[in-house]
A and B are shown apart, each in its own frame.
Chain A
Amino acid sequence: MTDGEAIILDAVVAPGHDGAAELLVTLRHPNGGVETVALDGETGFHLMKSCGVSSAAELPGQPWRRILEGL
């Protein structure tokens, strides 16, 4: 983790517009801004894998930049 980067605050599962499960990831940006982004199944699993976790509950505290890894 580095200073000045977005951190995952929370991650919960929710149904998406298409009826598939999505991961709602809440981020805190370095300027204090908080936003929530919905990830589809493939992207959500990719994030979990990049973070080395097997549960959404383990995502809080992880750096958001990990979503870029392996893309």
Chain B
Amino acid sequence: MYDVVIRGGLVVDGSGEAGVLADVAIAGGKIAEIGQGLAAGRREIDAAGRVVAPGFIDPHTHFDVQLLWDGAAKPALEHGVTSIVPGNCSLSLAPLKAADRKAVVGMFQQIEEMPPEAFTIAFDWTWEDFAGYRDAIAKTLSVNVAPLVGHSVIRLFVMGPAAQERTAQPGEVAAMQDLLRECLDAGAVGLSTSFVDVDETGRPVPSRYADSAELDALCAVLGEFGRMLQVVPEFYATDITIARIDQLAELSLRHKIPTTFSPLFDSRGNADNAPRAIARVEEQFARGARVWPQMQTRPIDLSFSLLRPSLFFARLPRWVRVLRQPLAERIAALGDPETSARMIEDAGPDGGLAMFGSLVLRGGDAAPAELTGQTLAQIAEARGQGCARTLIDLSLEHGLDVAFLAASLGHEDTDRIGPMLAHPLVHIGASDGGAHLASFATYGDTGYLFSEFVRKGHLSLEAAVKKITSDTAEIWGLQNRGRLAPGWAADVVVFGADALARGDERPVFDMPGGGMRYTRDARGVDTVLVNGEVAYADGAYTDARSGVICT
């Protein structure tokens, strides 16, 4: 008798081949058999009318901290994600000396927007080395974790405060190589670095002080293991991004390693950006280099409040002049009838309906919770005001702490992005799961791939599954994951092909100390198994702790 049999579903095995109606039998945490009329299992899962696929793999997350108290990386697991890669963008929680914790916490707070309590009440620091961190999270994992080690923390470990002051001496570079080697031996799947990020004081993170010789030396160590280099390039400028693609290609060829960079996104204001970057990637792959651009599926929303000046108003001179003032003067100006009347005049003859009407109240701030999810047009109508007047008054009523969302303003053109996501050299990723907590939800990109791109015909069901399962595992060298085949790890997601999607963004207060984050529920995911155990079913997480550190 098998442990589990998933019966009668459309098995889309991650290979890209057409799905077939079959049963999937699981024993000992692995796929035992796929076929029709298989023998009984101790647990039977009816998948009739559903798709049975390998668990999805998310290659770009920042769940490093959350994994210390939440081994499911919620809500990633309920979206069908069974394996995650944390430690991106040069930052991981190990190796890390006790004396350097404060500095790294500041960097994490800058990137993740995690509340301070997450680092003081949610877990005990029990490690300094990478193996110690690995063991600290491994006890309670429900998802599989393939961790990167961050270049910034390696630098900090070896150089101390000088890591954010200067280039490294040859002896320090050699020490970093030894430390990286130790991390890779302990289960790291690669090294992450950043040419962009800053700490909480605005200083460049340590990796940005490295010269090219240091990066080359570290890539030589990656070459000993055949492991990944992940990079955040200067994505704000296409020409620099292309120069980085060339640099990564040289590192890939010299050391025989895969490399990946993120983010890469599409924008109407810079329509050539993604196509040019992908064209350069094609050229470098033709030379034998491996430089995988990561592209997210979800559109980019824009959010703002009047607490801080936002370029959202850059087309409205009177608004800019008011919002650039210091807070006290800004509040006074917004409350001045004459000034606000002129601002409203700027917003158009319809009182700002066209300009502001579709803005959505985000919630999680000082505004009444019942307004969350409503558009400004709806609220304005209920108040008997124009939209611009409502934006100003509602903000003033709550100390300006009212967050507005302009949805899908960037990376939103499905007809442009669909073919890019389908491109064989584009790696679907860059979700940033677990980061930007107080700014937007980084969950549900896999569901969005199906609701927006599969169901609108840009990718077949099988191609989409392959993109986020076996392709990802192959790019990252994750062994025996990403396929449904006998002997492979039984990471499985059962979902409705016409139902899989992401829910609406909403604020929740589930961070340590009651901290807020934005999240999205999954739609259409029935069951998720991790290494053969049911980790999520019927809308609820189970007690399964079958996730592993996977390499």
B270 touches A15 (CB 8 A): no
Residue among A36, A39, A41 making CB contact with B310, cutoff 8 Å:
A41
A21 vs B237: C-alpha distance in the bound complex, in angstroms?
16
For chain B, which range describes its interface: under 10, 10 to 19, 20 to 34, or 35 or more residues? Answer: 35 or more
A23 vs B270: C-alpha distance in the bound complex, in angstroms?
11
> Interface digits, B283-311 against A, CB 8 Å rule (1 contact, 0 not)?
00000000000000000111110001111
Q: Which residues of A have CB within 8 Å of B316?
A: 55
A22 vs B269: C-alpha distance in the bound complex, in angstroms?
10
Which residues of chain A (1-56) have a CB below 8 Å from chain B? 11-24, 26, 35-39, 41, 44-45, 48-49, 53-56
Given contacts A35-B238, A37-B236, A54-B317, contact A21 B269 (CB under 8 A): no
Count of A-B contacts with CB under 8 A? 99
A68 at interface, CB cutoff 8 A = no
From A36, A44, A48, A57, residue with most partner B Cβ within 10 Å = A36
B303 touches A20 (CB 8 A): yes
B304 touches A21 (CB 8 A): yes
Given contacts A20-B303, A37-B237, contact A55 B314 (CB under 8 A): yes
Residue among A19, A24, A39, A53 making CB contact with B267, cutoff 8 Å:
A24
A18 touches B238 (CB 8 A): no
CB distance from B82 to the nearest CB of A (A): 26
Q: Which residues of B have CB within 8 Å of A15?
A: 300-302, 406, 409-410
A23 touches B236 (CB 8 A): no
Which residue of chain A has its CB nearest to the CB of B232? A17
Which residues of chain B (117-174) have a CB below 8 Å from chain A? none
A5 vs B410: C-alpha distance in the bound complex, in angstroms?
30
B312 touches A19 (CB 8 A): no
B267 touches A13 (CB 8 A): no
B320 at interface, CB cutoff 8 A = yes
Which residue of chain B has its CB nearest to the CB of A22? B311
B495 at interface, CB cutoff 8 A = no
A35 vs B238: C-alpha distance in the bound complex, in angstroms?
8
**10 tightest CB-CB pairs across the interface, nearest first?**
A54-B317, A24-B269, A38-B236, A15-B302, A21-B311, A56-B314, A15-B410, A36-B270, A55-B317, A21-B312
Task: Give the interface of B toward A (CB within 8 A).
Answer: 235-239, 263, 265, 267-270, 272-273, 300-304, 308-312, 314-318, 320-321, 324, 406, 409-410, 436, 439-440
Task: Give the interface of A toward B (CB within 8 A).
Answer: 11-24, 26, 35-39, 41, 44-45, 48-49, 53-58
